[in-house]
Amino acid sequence: MEVDWSVLDKEEEEAWPILFQQAFDVWNYLTDQWDGMSGNYFGKQMSGIQDIMNILEIEEQREVLKIVKIIDGKYAKEVNKKQKKPTTGK
């Protein structure tokens, strides 16, 4: 499942606060965790997140972490909602 970033206007994205831009960068580097039996999305694997933030030289790591968790929570909710929709086949 991929995020459809096409709904974002590039000019608007550049106007976002730097913390949000950094949070999306970090979130994209993290590995997805999936349940192999049910296909549910568990969220991003957070181990190594501090290493990523250090490499990217992020100063306000606590705030970026909070935003990453919000992004991941909303993404997980949407992905799992789509997974539960019944498919109609002909």
* Residues 75/3, Cβ–Cβ less than 8 Å: yes
3-state SS track over 5-35: HHHCCHHHHHHCCHHHHHHHHHHHHCCEEEC
**Dihedral (C-alpha) 22, 25, 46, 53: value to the nearest 10 degrees?**
-50
Q: How does pLDDT run across 37-74, given as a tens digit for each residue?
A: 777 788 899 999 999 999 999 999 999 999 999 999 98
- Domains of the chain, residue spans: 16-82
pTM: predicted TM-score of the whole model, two decimal places: 0.71
